[in-house]
Structure 1
């Protein structure tokens, strides 16, 4: 009797032991898959870092990485009043002693192949480059292998139904890391907006893994669906999946661009709900969620640290242009960077928008004592129209004139334009508003590892109000030449716009920088391409300015830059390595950016080496 009972207990325990052993085996293979995923991603990061290492080292060696982190007051008290011409009579001009050129000489051959990798368009796409494709394929391959690790048979796949969920939760901190505005990529000269495509790729992969996990759960469960969702684990799992689907849907490009506020709100509320639901789903998510929370807290702390509060001066000008001058912020950024502006007034406080800084920092500017940060907006959207109304209020109410306003107060054409705009907008203007309002400026953001000052020829391209990007870089090149830390000999500026009235405000600053550039023996040519008949302003003629009716041809831009550089090299007759061409473009057209990349790649290798290489930086202002 005792033997029969013992045998029965042993037989009953065998299935339990087998199930436990199977569970431990599944856990071990899932751990192996997770380790492979971690190793694969770290290995990929190291490979990308190795490929970029020459540019990263240049970025560090030249000291450029030290700038562009925190806005601060300018402490410079003395203005540079004299210009030092580099060309010494009786001796051959050389730039071999300049610090930026030392690293540039080693990069020319590398740059040729690096351009082939990073700016080569794939399948005619305006956004997809060879580098993005390779990074994406590598990432998806690592994810696929992690899911299929010892898991390729149908029975194994069902028994490892938790594997896709583990892979998805493992990547949650990566999504938050890639969404941080203050992340480690800035130390290599890459702004957070440049790696945003990875944030979207990882997010969509996490969604697919979660859907696969849910499908496997439903396959192996025998209970009815209604019964399953009575259990808290399944209920919170369903909420998590539904939240991810909703966030992914509102993040699609057409919705993101057309309903940006909806996209932003769904993102913020979505990730809060997602983290809560996942926390309640299973205990295994707690550590990744705490990491996500820690990353978000660190990012928000950096945002607070990088936010400055000032009373800014708003001035409305012809062409629906609004200038925002923020005092007591004169340095701490690099030309080409942008900030987020929030206006503290009942009509504006809920929104903050990015604006490119329109002037160079005092440390790199010819105007070393200037202590203000300038932003320029064109009244196209709802928010920028509201900003324009602040300046119009000042004109309508007869308030104090700002520095920029005094410049136009005796111009009858400007007065008539402002008067007309004020009358047309008077129904929308609250007379209690002043033209000076409290604002917060968060930033700077955006990193450009290319140092245009280290190039022999600089090409600057801007479209519409994106010329603020061009103006800041032009000012930096001139200021650096005065300080003796620039290799630039030629500057080619291309500006395309529909409303020629915009030119009126920008022309005087351009002329001032042009005057100082000529004193430093830098040849400057400005071409304004007007694409419509809007506006009546006719700028006074001067030798360096050409107005063209029609669009910019990227091929002609590259050809002219190459010919200018070759002519400069031949004229100087030097034997040193040329400093090459640096191109920076800021437009709202992805097709123009692609055409510019294609035109750059069309330069043959012999010419590329002869001129010292070409570096290209493009900005596209369209919420990509």
Structure 2
């Protein structure tokens, strides 16, 4: 047999594009880049994780959930500890630079930093779809990149994510979920480009769109994806959450099955989501608890839920998903923030978890009505104390504050409405650590401004007993605590409870920027009353200028020392957005001088 030599090499320009060889390479490139971005974020979080590990916040409740017995703290005769100025100045510079990413716009759920992350993500996705790809002739690249979204979608969606642990406290699923939503939209972009161009090719060449398994399953998968995307928009989530949740869970199962029938290249991308979801379910098994609880309807707008035999296993500011067994509604679970700190670091005695459910929907209205009727029946039949005994299931804890208030000399805790459940837990924790435990872990906090915006004076009674306990614990100590309640409705002012160091101000709307500036600007020694930057009709009650730790001279000594300021805000979007902008504004002008301003917000919306 004669030898004709090596076969001729087809010039690159004339070679036919092999999408099944080239497109997976772009999948891998996309995955490497976003994984590198996650790695950079994890490395940047190492100091935060190290601090959380040192003070015991990192693994609290991760594998055990809420426990019956509390951890043992050893109180010490602590003294006020001032942070090293060189270290605090460096942190101040870092936090000041970071504050430039906090700016937000009305109607936008993302701040500037999050928008940059999403813009970079979508740019990467579109670049990988379009670079060196003959999409008009062979739009497979977009389909391959749509499949590459699976790990991102599930990594940032599960409640028990390994990423949340690596990023440290305060980076729970509720903070990472925005990437999950936009990765889902990125999947929709890739699927739309892929499907639309293939349908166009079938129309041009006269091929049937439906009939073959590949085409039919592809159209079915795309239809399910459209339903998932359309039902995930915010109005649907807010007003029809239970319906959205069911559609979301069942829809993704159907989508995964349909896309696996559509292409054999989908299977490898399904395994990572299964692993993430399996890890989530495994940790949930360790965190589920069935407990005895007592429902206490405070009024027609608020009900308190006291879950008994719970002493430890959570960090102040975290939340649990609660399922109450009443009236056949055992399949509904709702997230509720834990109002109090663990027993060992709380000003309120007792081994209970206190949850608060404000009446804002069908479930909260139903449980409030049930508790009110049952309480009246028990009072008539058995003459029992207020409260209705029930069984509950709790799943958690989750979330929590990204910043430890104890690492900052000054703190502003501001909340709107039921958002006070978050800031009140932080207040309970930091006061107990500074007063009850004698700053055993080196807490540096010296001044706290607690601000609460409510619609009526009667709402103050929701948490008046707890505020009274905390205020009494602070009395006579070196910790300066001041409570400001801003009431937007002029009704029943006689209902204001006598809480020490509390000002009640009737106002249309307080200015978060004004409150923050008032905190960080030392007043003149001759001033006796607070200069509030709000449009007010002043109704000042219980404002004792001579109270311990509240004098003007002490304020001059405590403000502007460069020990840092912690700002924690919780409530409606308008409040958290204003908190973002207020911290960004003040930090850019005074951040380094103050030792940095750190911010954590909790948005009480779906």
Q: TM-score range by the shorter chain?
A: 0.7 to 0.9
For the 8 Å contact 2:461–2:497, the answer to whether it is kept is: no
Matching residue within 570, 576, 586 for 2:570: 586
Instruction: Rate the CA distance shift 1:393–1:42 in 2: closer, same or farther, 3 A.
Output: same
For 1:560, the equivalent position in structure 2 comes to 518
For the 8 Å contact 2:325–2:392, the answer to whether it is kept is: yes
Give the drift of 1:533: 3.6
For the 8 Å contact 1:394–1:400, the answer to whether it is kept is: no
Q: Do structure 1's residue 144 and structure 2's residue 126 form an aligned pair?
A: yes
Q: Greater CA radius of gyration, 1 or 2?
A: 1
Matching residue within 585, 596, 600 for 1:613: 596
For 1:419, the equivalent position in structure 2 comes to none
Give the drift of 1:351: 1.0
Instruction: Rate the CA distance shift 1:447–1:207 in 2: closer, same or farther, 3 A.
Output: same
Matching residue within 82, 91, 104 for 1:95: 82
For 1:384, the equivalent position in structure 2 comes to 364
For the 8 Å contact 2:173–2:399, the answer to whether it is kept is: yes
Q: 1:122-521 counterparts in 2 under 5 A? A: 126-151=108-133, 156-187=134-165, 188=167, 189=169, 190-221=171-202, 227-318=208-299, 320-367=301-348, 370-399=350-379, 406=385, 435-481=388-434, 482-483=436-437, 484=439, 485=441, 486-521=443-478
Q: TM-score, normalised by structure 2?
A: 0.85
Task: Give distance in 1, aligned partners of 2:381 and 2:485.
Answer: 30
Task: Give distance in 2, aligned partners of 1:268 and 1:366.
Answer: 41
Task: Give distance in 2, aligned partners of 1:77 and 1:252.
Answer: 42
Instruction: Rate the CA distance shift 1:460–1:570 in 2: closer, same or farther, 3 A.
Output: closer
Task: Give distance in 2, aligned partners of 1:597 and 1:30.
Answer: 41
Instruction: Rate the CA distance shift 1:40–1:540 in 2: closer, same or farther, 3 A.
Output: closer
For the 8 Å contact 1:237–1:278, the answer to whether it is kept is: yes
For the 8 Å contact 2:418–2:571, the answer to whether it is kept is: no
Task: Give distance in 2, aligned partners of 1:321 and 1:341.
Answer: 16
Residue 413 of structure 2 aligns to a residue whose secondary structure is strand
For 1:598, the equivalent position in structure 2 comes to 581
Segments of 5+ residues of structure 1 without an aligned counterpart are 1-13, 87-92, 410-433
For the 8 Å contact 2:199–2:209, the answer to whether it is kept is: no
Give the drift of 1:222: 5.9
Instruction: Rate the CA distance shift 1:574–1:206 in 2: closer, same or farther, 3 A.
Output: closer
Cα deviation, 1:175-211, whole Å, max 9, x if unaligned, reads: 1121100112322231111111111111011111111
Structure with higher helix content: 1
For 1:420, the equivalent position in structure 2 comes to none
Task: Give distance in 2, aligned partners of 1:225 and 1:316.
Answer: 68
Cα deviation, 1:595-623, whole Å, max 9, x if unaligned, reads: 22222222265632222211111111111
For 1:529, the equivalent position in structure 2 comes to 486
Residue 309 of structure 1 aligns to a residue whose secondary structure is strand
Instruction: Rate the CA distance shift 1:310–1:94 in 2: closer, same or farther, 3 A.
Output: closer
Cα deviation, 1:466-507, whole Å, max 9, x if unaligned, reads: 211122111101111122132111111111111322222411
Give the drift of 1:391: 2.2
Residue 486 of structure 2 aligns to a residue whose secondary structure is strand
Residue 484 of structure 2 aligns to a residue whose secondary structure is strand
For the 8 Å contact 1:455–1:487, the answer to whether it is kept is: yes
Task: Give distance in 2, aligned partners of 1:77 and 1:447.
Answer: 19
Task: Give distance in 2, aligned partners of 1:448 and 1:212.
Answer: 40
Task: Give distance in 2, aligned partners of 1:294 and 1:542.
Answer: 51
Segments of 5+ residues of structure 2 without an aligned counterpart are 1-7, 525-551
Q: Do structure 1's residue 42 and structure 2's residue 24 form an aligned pair?
A: no
Task: Give distance in 2, aligned partners of 1:102 and 1:310.
Answer: 49
Q: Which range moves more in the overlay, 468-477 or 257-266?
A: 257-266
For 1:112, the equivalent position in structure 2 comes to 96
Task: Give distance in 2, aligned partners of 1:601 and 1:306.
Answer: 37
RMSD: 3.4
Instruction: Rate the CA distance shift 1:77–1:162 in 2: closer, same or farther, 3 A.
Output: closer
Cα deviation, 1:319-354, whole Å, max 9, x if unaligned, reads: 532111111111111111111111123431121111
Q: Which range moves more in the overlay, 54-63 or 505-514?
A: 54-63
Give the drift of 1:264: 1.2
Give the drift of 1:149: 2.8
Q: TM-score, normalised by structure 1?
A: 0.82
Give the drift of 1:568: 7.5
For the 8 Å contact 1:83–1:519, the answer to whether it is kept is: no
